[in-house]
């Protein structure tokens, strides 16, 4: 009944709407005025010439153009020209190069290097610069390097260019080979046979190449400067979160204990996104585990220890994100990006560096019993060179070699860098002792024809 009533009301409103007389809108001039007549002129905004506007009889009004017909035509032609240029088609023809073209093109690619030039010192991409601890392609003006005396020198100019001149690979015993241009200066040393003292000078790479090709050349040594530490740091400041997290701390002291812990993290640690940091230690090495847990507890952390005897590992997890992010920033993310922090490597207090090395070798080093060498392996090129620099700061030399595993094993895609320390006073500084070599026993073979006397 209600629906029928609504339909009746709707029909009444529709009928009333149809019978209502239509009223003209007084605001519309075409209902009461005559169509416009005559001419209307305007001035062109581009050329300033007067032109006539067009009368639109259907709308009873004039056009409102701001440009004259000539200027409008020029503008339209310019737009059409731009469209034609952008829509040009390129035809690709099949081309098969000749054999000599392939050889020439490959030779050009092989000899085209990206070179970073600082003054007259030119390296190829991938060379490592001590002091600023950067690869040469990342060096900026204002960074520091070392001179031959180990003093810091500021880099004032960096240039990047592509060159095609001759390159020379400098190889030295116990060093990673590096490539330089023929005008690059290399500091080499000679030994006086009478006094036994060393004296050196700068020579170009080309002169060094020519001298070594001489069968009667003297024995040359590539000199490595002994860097002088300059950083005075005893505290690591943590980054504070923008959000109001509870129990935020300012930082952690940098002393011998924490430096040992950071060295252990450099060898066996990793960053857990959103969870903290983790140390994966040997299950049987209880002494290292107890020391790491003790240092963490003394600095106010509560590590979570997970033992996995079936895997032979013990995981020590610290869920404090401020601590984890500081380690990830200073020591690096991932095994190929590990490094020694500058505040530890160039610290004036050399005990900090010694403690860091003790922690690192406790996790990633071993003593070669047969040869009596202290050995460590890493896939980080930066860390390997920094370990060599660390030994130089402490007054010792070490050997650095490369093992390419990429072509030998499908599972490995990295290059191993081996740091070997064979100087006994050097590894005695870290608490290692040269093992005693077992003496060979003499055995005599006795057969039936043996007659003792």
User: E strands, 105-242, where?
Assistant: 113-118, 121-124, 128-129, 134-135, 144-146, 152-154, 159-163, 167-170, 178-181, 185-191, 198-204, 221-222, 235-237
pLDDT tens-digit map of 363-389: 999 998 888 899 999 999 999 999 999
Give me the pLDDT at residue 355, please.
96
The predicted model scores a pTM of 0.68
| Residue 286 and residue 387 share a domain | yes
- Evaluate if residue 422 carries a pLDDT over 80: yes
Q: Is 436 a domain residue?
A: no
Instruction: Give me the mean pLDDT over the 70-75 stretch.
Output: 85
**Burial environment of residue 119 by CB neighbours within 10 A (0 to 12, 13 to 18, 19 or more):** exposed
Q: What is the DSSP string of 246-303?
A: TT---EEE-SHHHHHHHHHHHHHEEEETTTEEEEEEETT-HHHHHHHHHHHHHTT---
Q: Is 19 a domain residue?
A: no
Q: Is 25 a domain residue?
A: no
More confident residue, 149 or 327: 327
Q: Encoding tokens for residue 79? A: 């737009």
| Residue 215 and residue 284 share a domain | no
CB atoms within 10 A of CB 261: 24
Domain that residue 168 falls in: 116-222
| Residue 259 and residue 146 share a domain | no
The whole-angstrom separation of Cα 287 and Cα 291 is 6
The whole-angstrom separation of Cα 269 and Cα 213 is 47
Give me the pLDDT at residue 127, please.
81
Nearest to 155 by CA among 118, 117, 114: 118
| Residue 387 and residue 356 share a domain | yes
| Residue 251 and residue 193 share a domain | no
| Residue 218 and residue 159 share a domain | yes
Q: Is 32 a domain residue?
A: no
Domain end among 174, 200, 222: 222
CATH number at residue 345: 3.10.28.10
| Residue 197 and residue 300 share a domain | no
| Residue 338 and residue 315 share a domain | yes
Instruction: Give me the mean pLDDT over the 242-247 stretch.
Output: 66
CB 52 within 8 A of CB 40: yes
Give me the pLDDT at residue 452, please.
42
CB atoms within 10 A of CB 274: 7
347 secondary structure, DSSP code: B
| Residue 417 and residue 326 share a domain | yes
38 secondary structure, DSSP code: S
Tell me which residue has tokens 């005075």: 232
The whole-angstrom separation of Cα 64 and Cα 52 is 10
Look at 84-98, 135-149, 161-175 and tell me which has the smallest mean pLDDT: 84-98
In sequence order, what are the residues at sequence separation of 6 or more whose Cβ sits closer than 8 angstroms to the Cβ of residue 425? 396
Q: Encoding tokens for residue 11? A: 């029909």
In sequence order, what are the residues at sequence separation of 6 or more whose Cβ sits closer than 8 angstroms to the Cβ of residue 434? 372, 424, 427
φ/ψ region of 17 (left if φ > 0, alpha if ψ in -120 to 50, else beta) reads: alpha
Mean residue pLDDT across the chain: 80
| Residue 201 and residue 54 share a domain | no
- Evaluate if residue 230 carries a pLDDT over 80: yes
Domain total for the chain?
Answer: 3
Strand partners, 56: 61
Q: Is 446 a domain residue?
A: no
The whole-angstrom separation of Cα 97 and Cα 104 is 11
| Residue 341 and residue 246 share a domain | yes
Q: Is 341 a domain residue?
A: yes
Q: Encoding tokens for residue 392? A: 């130089």
Q: Is 135 a domain residue?
A: yes
CB 169 within 8 A of CB 212: no
Q: Is 108 a domain residue?
A: no
| Residue 57 and residue 158 share a domain | no
CB atoms within 10 A of CB 60: 13
Q: Encoding tokens for residue 367? A: 């003593």
């Amino acid at each position: 009944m209600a629906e029928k009533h609504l339909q009746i009301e709707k029909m009444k409103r529709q009928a009333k709407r149809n019978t209502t007389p239509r009223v003209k809108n007084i605001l519309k001039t075409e209902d009461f005025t005559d169509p416009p007549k005559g001419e209307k002129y305007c001035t062109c905004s581009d050329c300033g010439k007067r032109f006539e506007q067009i009368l639109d009889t259907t709308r009873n009004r004039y056009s409102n153009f701001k440009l004259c017909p000539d200027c409008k035509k020029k503008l339209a032609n310019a737009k059409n020209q731009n469209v034609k240029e952008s829509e040009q088609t390129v035809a690709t023809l099949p081309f098969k190069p000749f054999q000599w073209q392939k050889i020439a093109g490959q030779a050009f690619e092989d000899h085209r290097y990206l070179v970073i030039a600082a003054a007259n010192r030119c390296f190829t991409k991938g060379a490592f610069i001590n002091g600023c601890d950067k690869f040469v392609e990342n060096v900026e003006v204002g960074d520091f390097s070392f001179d031959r005396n180990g003093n810091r020198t500021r880099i004032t100019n960096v240039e990047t260019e592509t060159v095609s001149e001759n390159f020379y690979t400098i190889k030295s015993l116990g060093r990673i080979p590096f490539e330089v241009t023929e005008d690059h200066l290399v500091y080499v040393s000679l030994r006086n046979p009478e006094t036994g003292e060393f004296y050196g000078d700068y020579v170009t790479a080309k002169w060094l190449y020519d001298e070594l090709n001489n069968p009667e050349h003297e024995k040359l040594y590539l000199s490595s400067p002994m860097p002088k530490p300059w950083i005075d740091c005893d505290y690591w400041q943590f980054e504070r979160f923008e959000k109001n997290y509870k129990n935020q701390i300012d930082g952690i002291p940098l002393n011998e204990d924490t430096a040992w812990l950071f060295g252990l993290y450099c060898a066996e640690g990793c960053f857990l996104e959103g969870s903290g940091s983790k140390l994966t230690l040997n299950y049987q090495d209880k002494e290292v585990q107890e020391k790491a847990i003790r240092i963490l507890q003394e600095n106010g952390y509560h590590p979570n220890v997970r033992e996995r005897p079936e895997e032979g590992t013990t995981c020590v997890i610290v869920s404090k994100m401020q601590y984890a992010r500081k380690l990830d920033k200073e020591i690096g993310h991932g095994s190929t990006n590990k490094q020694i922090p500058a505040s530890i490597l160039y610290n004036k207090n050399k005990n900090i560096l010694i403690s860091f090395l003790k922690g690192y070798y406790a996790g990633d080093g071993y003593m070669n019993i047969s040869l009596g060498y202290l050995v460590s392996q890493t896939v980080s090129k930066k860390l390997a060179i920094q370990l060599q620099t660390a030994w130089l700061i402490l007054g010792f030399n070490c050997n650095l070699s490369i093992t390419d595993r990429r072509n030998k094993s499908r599972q490995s895609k990295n290059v191993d860098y081996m740091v070997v320390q064979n100087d006994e006073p050097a590894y005695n500084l870290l608490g290692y002792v040269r093992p005693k070599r077992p003496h060979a026993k003499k055995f005599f073979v006795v057969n039936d024809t043996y007659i003792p006397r």
